[in-house]
Amino acid sequence: MEGVDHLADERKKAEFNVEAMKIVWAGSQHNLEVSNRISKLVADDPAFRKDDRTMLPRKELFKNTLRKAAYAWKRINELRLSEEEASKLRFYVDETAYTDLHWGMFIPAIKGQGTDEQQRKWLPLAYKMQIIGCYAQTELGHGSNVQGLETTATFDPHTDEFVIHSPTLTSSKWWPGGLGKVSTHAVTYARLIIDGKDHGVHGFIVQLRSLEDHRPLPGITVGDIGMKFGNGAYNTMDNGVLRFDHVRIPRNQMLMKVSQVTREGKYKQSDVPRQLVYGTMVYVRQRIVADASCYLSRAVCIATRYSAVRRQFGSQNGGPETQVIDYKTQQSRLFPLLASAYAFRFVGEWLEWLYTDVMQRLQANDFSTLPEAHACTAGLKSLTTSVTADGIEECRKLCGGHGYLCTSGLPELFAVYVPACTYEGDNIVLLLQVARFLMKTVSQIGTGKQPVGTIAYMGRIEHLMQCRCNVQRGFAELSADLVEAAVAHCQLIVVSKFIEKLQQDIPGEGVKQQLEALCGIYYLSLLHKHQGDFLATSYLTPKQSALANDQLRALYSKVRPNAIALVDAFNYSDHFLSSILGRYDGNVYPKLYEAAWKDPLNESVVPDGYHEYVRPLLKQQLHTARL
């Protein structure tokens, strides 16, 4: 019934202060306040309606996204929202769009790789959205292998220009978000050629479309690459294809913070690691980790609330059937994901600190923690996106048949999220980077260099110090195993950051106890999943492994009465969740039934096509039956 909280009894079971947990999840009282205000602003504005997305044809869907992005920009300016508030508004609008890449990659690339002069010229235009940018790195033939990119930028000393060109079909830029139909400019990655010498991949600002009539400029061929996975989902984004036919840009449009080309055509590499050209990707990877906790928590919120509403089997003497959340199988699938959502939130906070610290060190030309930052952002991006993508699918399955309805919110959430396992670095390719970092650490231990930071624990691997093994040999042969070691390394980071979080002062009655239980579920569920490795290496005895499993089950029972309150603490509005199964009031069945009749297919009792395609069959069947 309307107005009744069908989850009220569940909420009464909470053994902790939910409002205090909301602050922990938000990061601070201030963040919670801003989130509440902006979330309501979006939820209350019909212009941000999103329940029709999965039913719109692509052109209409895309135009609707353009409308929303323009309206959001209008509201940001009318309300004079800060950058923080504007970012929150785009988050709660919850629709991938060209603005993601304008704000999330184009601007960071200029900030990270542009000189002060270039920043002074381009950033004001970008901040006012007088130009709209994208990040054009991936090509049809290369994405993971950045050093394999084929687009060329050839310096012409006669005109003090670079000639940007797509020499082959496979050099066509392919995938950049916002490129297909909207961006006027791109930070384009191309091979710098000077006097026939290839200096490798560098970033260049290239205008793609006229600011007058939006038509592609001479030498530019650009368009959308076509429909992607799922209805709605990432089809609100114009991922594009782009080819250059000898397009000329001024020399000062090469991003020159890391390396420069003089008027005379002399190449100067600052004494900084060439990998700084990858800096934007590192920035986005750390953002994606924080974002993973948002996506996973949305799915867990839906599945937890529905698991408390859904009853199936177990009726005693005509009494109510059992809530499926009370089944140990349901808990063993759901609660590790709930724990992971909190774990990823905290490791995302730490990674943001690590990234900020590295950026400050770079200002002082201190590159000492750059390798660790690369390994942590790459590895944690890989781990958290893989677990989140698989977790959203598991949450769909935890909701049974109704989880497969678009009105559950889960199919679209899955479809929009899963590319995160690929973009910003294929997850396996990134784990191989972590494996390379671990093996390099091992080789350095042999030289007496003690590891610090997230690899300090490796200093205790005494036996490796004696083996003097040649870690270079067999990397390719052992890469699958090394990837597993990289995953374990990242899982250890997540566990250690969760434990460090618990060592902080955490206000609120019962809050710390709940987080301790979730931390226990996180690491014990990992230990259970990988117990074979621990047993095979004698790190655990069978008895210890059994005790750990017993403790895990005990923690499920401890969390069970608090489960609804723990997902309420995510503080998501019904508008943001966009899920009938995940409604705050748990009023699922009436709303599912109501929603079904709103489907366009039910606009007519007799479906279009009946008379052309069904009736003839029936009549034919009737005729046959009479024979």
Ligand X SMILES: CC/C=C\C/C=C\C/C=C\C/C=C\C/C=C\C/C=C\CCCCC(=O)SCCNC(=O)CCNC(=O)[C@H](O)C(C)(C)COP(=O)(O)OP(=O)(O)OC[C@H]1O[C@@H](n2cnc3c(N)ncnc32)[C@H](O)[C@@H]1OP(=O)(O)O
Binding site for ligand X (CB under 6 A): 96, 100-101, 104-105, 135, 137-138, 143-147, 177, 275, 278, 281-282, 284, 287-288, 291, 370-371, 374, 416-417, 420, 423-425, 429, 433, 436-437, 440
Q: How far is the CB of 226 from ligand X (least distance, A)?
A: 17
Kindly tell me which of 112 and 586 has the beta carbon lying closer to ligand X: 112
Kindly tell me which of 101 and 347 has the beta carbon lying closer to ligand X: 101
Rounded Cα–Cα distance for residues 343 and 332 (Å): 17
Kindly tell me which of 146 and 324 has the beta carbon lying closer to ligand X: 146
Q: How far is the CB of 328 from ligand FAD (least distance, A)?
A: 35
SS3 of 228-255 = CCCCCHHHHCCCEEEEECCEEEEHHHEC
Q: How far is the CB of 87 from ligand FAD (least distance, A)?
A: 18
Query: Total residues contacting ligand FAD (rule CB under 6 A)?
Result: 20
Instruction: Name the residue type at position 417.
Output: Y
Kindly tell me which of 256 and 358 has the beta carbon lying closer to ligand X: 358
Kindly tell me which of 73 and 534 has the beta carbon lying closer to ligand X: 73
Contact between 283 and ligand FAD by CB under 6 A: the answer reads no
Q: How far is the CB of 230 from ligand FAD (least distance, A)?
A: 11
Beta bridge partners of residue 197, listed in sequence order:
194
Query: 104 touches which of ligand FAD, ligand X, none (CB within 5 to 8 A by kind)?
Result: ligand X
Cβ atoms of 483 and 432 within 8 Å: the answer is: yes
Q: How far is the CB of 150 from ligand X (least distance, A)?
A: 14
Query: 287 touches which of ligand X, ligand FAD, none (CB within 5 to 8 A by kind)?
Result: ligand X
Contact between 478 and ligand FAD by CB under 6 A: the answer reads no
Q: How far is the CB of 537 from ligand X (least distance, A)?
A: 27
Rounded Cα–Cα distance for residues 472 and 325 (Å): 49
Rounded Cα–Cα distance for residues 71 and 65 (Å): 10
Query: 239 touches which of ligand FAD, ligand X, none (CB within 5 to 8 A by kind)?
Result: ligand FAD
Kindly tell me which of 209 and 298 has the beta carbon lying closer to ligand X: 298
Cβ atoms of 374 and 602 within 8 Å: the answer is: no
In the numeric block, which tokens belong to residue 161?
A: 């220009």
424 tagged catalytic: yes
Per-residue x/- track, 209-248, ligand FAD (CB under 6 A): -------------------------x----x---------
Beta bridge partners of residue 205, listed in sequence order:
187
Rounded Cα–Cα distance for residues 66 and 74 (Å): 12
Rounded Cα–Cα distance for residues 580 and 587 (Å): 8
Query: 399 touches which of ligand X, ligand FAD, none (CB within 5 to 8 A by kind)?
Result: none
Rounded Cα–Cα distance for residues 492 and 506 (Å): 22
- In this structure, the number of other CB atoms found within 10 A of the CB of residue 58 comes to 15
Rounded Cα–Cα distance for residues 248 and 43 (Å): 46
**Residue selected from 138, 384, 531, 571 as contacting ligand FAD according to rule CB under 6 A:** 138
Q: How far is the CB of 142 from ligand FAD (least distance, A)?
A: 6
Query: 433 touches which of ligand FAD, ligand X, none (CB within 5 to 8 A by kind)?
Result: ligand X
Stretch touching ligand FAD by CB under 6 A, among 53-61, 150-158, 174-182, 390-398: 174-182
- In this structure, the number of other CB atoms found within 10 A of the CB of residue 590 comes to 11
Rounded Cα–Cα distance for residues 304 and 300 (Å): 6
Cβ atoms of 399 and 302 within 8 Å: the answer is: yes
| Strand-strand pairing, 240-244 and 173-174 | antiparallel
Please list every residue from 378 through 437 that binds ligand FAD, using CB under 6 A.
419, 422-423, 425-426, 428-429, 432
Length of the chain: 627
Beta bridge partners of residue 187, listed in sequence order:
135, 205
Stretch touching ligand FAD by CB under 6 A, among 135-143, 290-298, 381-389, 596-604: 135-143
Stretch touching ligand FAD by CB under 6 A, among 36-44, 169-177, 335-343, 601-609: 169-177
In the bound state, the residue with its beta carbon closest to ligand FAD is 143
In which residue are the tokens 């366009």 written?
600
What is the helix (H) or strand (E) element at residue 346, kind and residue range?
Answer: helix 328-363
How many helices (H) and strands (E) in the chain?
22, 11
Q: Angle 370-398/410-417 helices, nearest 10 degrees?
A: 160
What is the helix (H) or strand (E) element at residue 590, kind and residue range?
Answer: helix 588-596
Rounded Cα–Cα distance for residues 585 and 580 (Å): 10
Please list every residue from 193 through 212 that binds ligand FAD, using CB under 6 A.
none
Q: How far is the CB of 175 from ligand FAD (least distance, A)?
A: 4
Q: How far is the CB of 473 from ligand FAD (least distance, A)?
A: 17
Instruction: Name the residue type at position 541.
Output: T
CA neighbor of 471 nearest in space, from 490, 452, 443 = 443
In the numeric block, which tokens belong to residue 362?
A: 């770079």
In the numeric block, which tokens belong to residue 624?
A: 């046959």
Per-residue x/- track, 92-121, ligand FAD (CB under 6 A): ---------x--------------------
Query: 100 touches which of ligand X, ligand FAD, none (CB within 5 to 8 A by kind)?
Result: ligand X
Kindly tell me which of 137 and 253 has the beta carbon lying closer to ligand X: 137
Contact between 176 and ligand FAD by CB under 6 A: the answer reads yes
Kindly tell me which of 163 and 421 has the beta carbon lying closer to ligand X: 421
Catalytic residue among 150, 393, 412, 424: 424
In the numeric block, which tokens belong to residue 389?
A: 């993508």
Full DSSP string of 88-136: HHHHHHT---HHHHIIIIIHHHHHHHS-HHHHHHHHHHHHTTSS-EEEE
Q: How far is the CB of 145 from ligand FAD (least distance, A)?
A: 7
Query: 492: burial class by Cβ within 10 Å (0-12, 13-18, 19+)?
Result: middle
Q: How far is the CB of 422 from ligand FAD (least distance, A)?
A: 5
Cβ atoms of 67 and 182 within 8 Å: the answer is: no
**Residue selected from 175, 244, 344, 355 as contacting ligand FAD according to rule CB under 6 A:** 175
Kindly tell me which of 205 and 566 has the beta carbon lying closer to ligand FAD: 205
Query: 291 touches which of ligand FAD, ligand X, none (CB within 5 to 8 A by kind)?
Result: ligand X
- In this structure, the number of other CB atoms found within 10 A of the CB of residue 59 comes to 8
Kindly tell me which of 146 and 564 has the beta carbon lying closer to ligand X: 146
Rounded Cα–Cα distance for residues 135 and 116 (Å): 20
Kindly tell me which of 106 and 584 has the beta carbon lying closer to ligand X: 106
Q: Active-site residues: which are they?
A: 424
Binding site for ligand FAD (CB under 6 A): 101, 135-138, 143-144, 175-177, 234, 239, 419, 422-423, 425-426, 428-429, 432
